[in-house]
Structures are given as structure tokens and as C-alpha cells.
Structure 1
């Protein structure tokens, strides 16, 4: 397991200037490996082949790849149709287009029909400089209300590759907050194993506990290490599966710490922090909590580093919350 400093996301959600080990296009690599012996797998994109890393599958299996153009509703409708013929349809586009332009098709054609459609959605959260038109800061809040839809938020290249392979055997529709380009390697693939529906306690500590998801877990590790240097026991619970939510693991972890920090690349309302709050309330468990996430507002254009620092998603903010409790 490797602690890394955060990379800088580029114009199409690609992380630039990665410090430490990384993999290039783990989504495409994993999908090619999986599909070699799974002829029922097909790939689709809404004109986002290169910008979602599914182009490797396109090159390996051109007869099983479909580019529907800039038509996200068609993407999901065609995927659902292919699923009805026995295919497992992997779709790529941007998160914001799935949750706005194509939401009804996701709800009815995919989730309601329990169609084997796997949506690998790029640029979830505050992951690009293009402003509100491309920032899916509320995708989890929108999608977790839909029945029969699973939601996964991987941390790094290791977990993303494992998720790409795992979702083929998860019945029904799955939404994955994907990562692309140079994706940092945080987890050792020989040691870490993604388990659908399960949270992972990666570090123990009773003074403060960080509950995180997605690439924010990478920053939780850095903050945890800094806290330990100050003599604080800082635990980390990684929650890759948002839905179904591992309430039992969250309650067990929260009961063992004096205070909590929740870290997510999503609005603080409707996402991980809300799920944790609901779980604690229902169980009658009261633990002081600091929420690290995106404000409930539309965000302007700007560089990734600028936006994260301005809105409190950067490494410094998480480390202060863990060490100083503010």
C-alpha cells in the first residue's frame, strides 16, 4: 500500500503530474482482459471512446463495440436492448450526462428492467475545469434514490480494474464513478481485494476515524499518516460501494473512535456523509463529525488545484480536519 500526494486533473478528467506509481487507462486494460473469454460482453460509448479509456476494448473487439454518437439516452437504451439479448453491456460517458440527459432511460430501460448494463461514468464530482455544465457534483444523491441500481466509487487503478471485472457478475445495472488516464496506484493488487457491498477498514485508530470513498481515500491515508506523527490514532474506513451501503461496518468503525471525518468528492448532502449520518442516527450512535465535500452550489470554471483549495477538498483541508478537528 502506497501513500501518494494528490495528482492534478486535466481537462477531460485525466489526472496529470501523478507523483508515485500509476497505471494508464486501467479501465480499458481490465475490460480487454475480462472480455477475452467472455463473448457476451459488449462495449458502448457516447462519442467518448478515447476520453473514457474504453478505446482499448474497441481496438481489441471492433465487432463488439458501438459508438452511438453524442446521444446518451440512445446509449443506455441500446445497452438495455443488448442486455435483453443476453449481452453484458459496458457503457462509458460523463457522469453529468448520465444523471441529466439520460436519467429516465437509466431509471426505466436499465434499473427498472434489471438490465445487465454497467455504466462507467467519467468526471464524477469536482473533476474538471469546465464549470457546472460538466461537474456531476450530485450524481450519488440523484442515483441512490433509484431502486435496483448499484453505485461504486473506486479509489485507484487497482480497485477500478477489480471493479470492472467484478460488475460483470453483479446482476442488474451498476453505476461506477470511473477514473481515467494516469490513475494512481494506492492499493497493492496482491493485498487488496474489492468486495461488492463491503467497506474496508484499512487503518485502525481510536482518536479519529476517516470514512472516505473514491480517490478521497488516498488523501485520507496522507492525513492519517500526518496524524500518527502527532501521536493521534487515526483510522481509515474506505467505502467503495455506496449502494448497497455497508451500514454494519460503518457503525462498528464509528463506535470505536472519538470523532469522525467524512471525505467525499460529492456534495455533502445526499452522498456518503448523509448515508453515515442516517446510519448513526438510526442506531442511536452519537459521534462528533466533520464533513469534507462539495458545497451545495454551482461551481465556476478553474484549474483542479484552484477549485479544490477554494472549496475545501484539497489535502490540507482533510489533514487539518483529522489533526485539529476543525
Structure 2
């Protein structure tokens, strides 16, 4: 079982690259421990800025440093980064087109028992609504590494959301297909297309295996690039299936499900069912307990697929 969270994978890449690239700077909001950035702060104190609990300042200073030629990586809990500093994300980063990569750590319901104040179930919708902002939810540590390496090579704004805990590996160091802003098709089928992002990709992949045992063929698409959405991958998956299911650790409005529904509705009409968090404060529990309760684990996704197919 993997014990390396995606947030640590981000730090590992930045540690390696900062050895030769002194333009890389990491900023935290009293969150270096939560962001797994303590090793970076210790190794490169001159390339690390501690802003304290001041998310608006965090984003604005990151943008200012980017205007001075730095590659800014601003890490903070997703729940605070995408709400308290929303205006700064919109104006200082996106509108000003600065080379800032916003890292939302402990996304979704990662904070568990801390409840709605610490959950980020609106961040995909909020950040995607900002012109010039890209939104990424890598599904495992290997894809996270590929994504950060790619983002280091461009100068455009981006938001990366990762969870708090380790997630099961989907790929491997030797086999991690990755193309910037292109979804990865993990497996192909003809009955149902499951399009997932972030931590929902692994249960979607497991659900496909469960469905196969019942004679149901499933396509699984890893849509790590929520914005820009890989519309071509969505259309292809939908055209080859009877029904489309989306899975996301997010509210039911404005996220991956909404985006996929728009594309499918206009390009290749199919029934689309969105598996997401409910429009209410979620139950208290670990991520896995929450996913299980709301049918967002492998069994729940497979059950939904069977029920929808039975009605077609």
C-alpha cells in the first residue's frame, strides 16, 4: 500500500528542481507541515517564504515574486486558499497572468472531523470560473510528479488540488502515461463511461473491475485536467457507451459533473449521472468513511452504474 501522499510528491519534485533552478520559490501560510514543505524550507531557506495565517497576503506576495521572475508555488489548505483569497486568485494571479501555481492541500473532505469549515467542496467550481486559471486534480503520486514537472516548464497560472492522505497507486514510475491537458484513459469498455478526477479515480478503476465481474464493460477516464477539460476524451468515451457517470470529491454544482454534462449534452447526448458530495454539510468521518456513506467508493460507483444501466 502506498504511504506517500501527493503533497509530498510535490515537495520532492520542487526539492530536486530547486537544486539547480534558483527561481523556484515556495510560500506557505503557517502550513509547511501540512503541505509537506518542511524539507524544502530546511534545504532552501532563501527560496522559502512563511506568510503566517494570511492567505490573501500569501497569494499577493506569490504574484509579486512571479512578476520579479520567480516561479511561485503557494501552498495552503484548499478550504482557505480558495475562499479567503479568492479575489487575489482572480486579480493578482489570473487577471495579471502571473507565474503562480496555487497548491490546495488537504482538499475535499481530507480534514474529516473538522467539518464543513475545513472541507473544500466548492473549489473546482470557484477556481474554474476564473478566466485564465487552470485547475488540476492529480490522481496519484506518479501523476502528481509528472504534472508538477510540466507546470515548472510554463509560466501560466494554475490551481492544483491534492488530498491530505496517501492514495492508492494507479500508475507506476515506469508506466505513467501523461500528456499536459489530456485525460488518461485507464481502460475501455462499451456499456458505461466513468469519468473521474483526483481521489475518485482509483475507486472508479476498482468499480470497473467489479462491473466486469457482472459482465458490464466500463471505460474509465482519469480527468486530472478539469480545466481545460479534455472535451475530445469526453466525447469519445460518451459515444462508445450507453451512459456516462462522473465521480468527484466536490459539491454537485459547477464541478466535473457539470462540465461533462455540458459537453455530452451538446456533442453526443447521453444520460449523465454525477456522483458527488451532497448539497449539505457532510457526515463526520475519515475520507473513506465519507466516500462509503455517500456511495462514492468502488462498490457505490458500481452499484450506481448497474442501476442506471438497468433503466435504459
Per the normalisation by structure 1, the TM-score is 0.89
Q: CA deviation at 1:322?
A: 2.9
For residue 210 of structure 2, the aligned residue among 226, 237, 253 is 226
Once the two structures are superposed, the pairs formed by residues 187-198 of structure 1 within 5 Å of their partners are: 187-198=171-182
Partner of 1:175: 159
**Contact 1:110/1:117, CA 8 A, preserved across alignment:** yes
| Shift of residue 155, structure 1, vs aligned partner | 0.2
- What is the aligned partner in structure 2 of residue 23 from structure 1? 4
Q: How far, CA to CA, are the matches of 1:314 and 1:233 in structure 2?
A: 18
Matched, 1:267 2:248: no
CA-CA distance at 1:141 after TM superposition:
0.8
Per the TM alignment, residue 182 of structure 1 is displaced from its structure 2 partner at its CA by 3.4
Q: Is the 8 A contact 1:116 1:172 kept in 2?
A: yes
Q: Counterparts of 2:285 and 2:216 in 1: how far apart (Å)?
A: 35
- Quote the Cα distance in structure 2 between the aligned partners of 1:304 and 1:153: 16
Separation of aligned partners in 1, 2:283 and 2:4: 30
Deviation at 1:175, TM superposition (A): 0.2
- The answer to whether structure 1 residue 61 and structure 2 residue 39 are counterparts is no
Q: Classify the secondary structure of the residue corresponding to 1:198.
A: coil
The answer to whether structure 1 residue 134 and structure 2 residue 126 are counterparts is: no
User: Does the 8 Å contact 1:23/1:185 carry over to 2?
Assistant: no
1:133 aligned counterpart, secondary structure: helix
Deviation (angstroms), 1:272: 0.5
Which residue number in structure 2 is paired with residue 76 of structure 1?
A: 59
Q: C-alpha displacement at 1:300, in angstroms?
A: 4.7
What is the Cα deviation at residue 163 of structure 1?
1.4
Q: Which segment is superposed worse, 253-262 or 20-29?
A: 20-29
CA distance in 1, matches of 2:299, 2:123: 25
Q: Taking structure 1 as reference, are residues 251 and 325 closer, same or farther at Cα in structure 2, changes over 3 Å only? A: same
Q: CA deviation at 1:299?
A: 2.8
Q: Which moved more, 1:51-60 or 1:88-97?
A: 51-60
2:164 and 2:119 map into 1 onto residues whose CA distance is 16
Q: Say which structure, 1 or 2, has more relative contact order (CA 8 Å, 6+ apart).
A: 1
1:1-326 to structure 2, matched below 5 A, reads 20-23=1-4, 25-129=8-112, 130-283=114-267, 285-325=268-308
Name whichever structure is richer in strand by fraction. Answer: 1
Residues 43 and 89, structure 1, Cα contact 8 Å, conserved in 2 = yes
User: Helix, strand or coil: the match of 1:50?
Assistant: coil
Q: Structure 2: which 5+ runs fail to align?
A: none
Name the SS of the counterpart of 2:250 in structure 1. Answer: strand
Deviation at 1:312, TM superposition (A): 2.8
Q: Deviations over 1:222-256 (max 9, x none)?
A: 11111112222111111010111111111011100
Quote the offset at 1:316 in angstroms. Answer: 2.1
Return the alpha-carbon distance in structure 2 between the equivalents of residues 232 and 68 of structure 1.
51
Does the 8 Å contact 1:220/1:236 carry over to 2? Answer: yes
Structure 1 CA distance for aligned equivalents of residues 20 and 187 of structure 2: 37
**What root-mean-square deviation, in Å, do the aligned CA atoms of Structure 1 and Structure 2 show?**
1.6
Can you give the 5+ residue segments of structure 1 that lack an aligned partner in the other structure?
1-19
- 1:156 CA drift (Å): 0.5
